[in-house]
Structures are given as structure tokens and as C-alpha cells.
Amino acid sequence: MDNKILIGGLIVAIIIAILAPFLASSNPDGLESTAEKIINEDALHKNLQALGLEEEGTVAPSPMPDYSIEGMGKVGEVIAMIVGTLIMLALAYGVAIVLKKPSSN
């Protein structure tokens, strides 16, 4: 029963992960759209300079930025999503196993 939940959930997640690169809207999200309209460029520039970044993003390089693999197009996006889903499952399972309350027996 417990394994059924894990496998069932993983199957649903993998299906979504495979479909997402094809179905997801490429429009900017709510925060990005807001930023395009109203961001204070001076303040942004000052923050970026303090961090040594050229544009907003993250201070550490990521292996698969924007859920893609360079030069691999849609295939790379599908692989990135599947890898991400498996990493997520493993991390959540590992953390939950370590943190769960001690069993009574």
C-alpha cells in the first residue's frame, strides 16, 4: 500500500514532467511580468553590482538552468524534468526517513 502511493505518485509526476516542456506556457510568470513593467532599474543595477552578477538569476551556477540542458532543445528539457523529479523524490524521501518520528515498536 505504501509503495503503491510512492510508485503511483512517481508515475503521475513523471507524466507531468514529460509533458511540461511541451505544454508549459513560455510567457513570463506573474513576478517577471510585474518586474518588466515597474522594476526600478537603478535599484536592480545596484543589487546586481553588489552581488557581481550581470543579470538577475542566482549567485551559484546551476547545472540545468531554466530546466534545460544546453544544446539539447526539448529532449534536454524532458531529461532535466525527469532528473529533477527523481532528485526531488529522493531528497524528500531521504529527509522524511531521517526526520520521521521514532516508531513505537
Partner 1 sequence: MHIPDGFLPIWESILFWIISLIFVAKSIMWAKNNLDEKSVPLFAALAAGIFAIQAMNMPIPWGTSGHMVGSALTAIIFDSPWAGVLMLTLVLIVQGLFFADGGLLAMGANIFNMGIIGGFVGYYVFKALKKSNVALASFLGGWCATFLAAIACAIELAIGGVFPLDKGLMYMGLYHAVIGIIEGVITAIVVSYLSSTKPDLVKSLSTQ
Q: Which of residues 80-99 bind partner 1 (CB under 8 A)?
A: 80-81, 83-93, 95-97, 99
> Does residue 38 interact with partner 1 by CB under 8 A?
yes
Closest approach, Cβ 40 to partner 1, in A, equals 5
Closest approach, Cβ 68 to partner 1, in A, equals 9
Cell of 75: 529532449
> Does residue 69 interact with partner 1 by CB under 8 A?
no
Q: Return all residues near 54 (Cβ < 8 A) that are at least 6 apart.
A: 48
Instruction: Report the alpha-carbon angle 71-75-79, nearest 5.
Output: 105
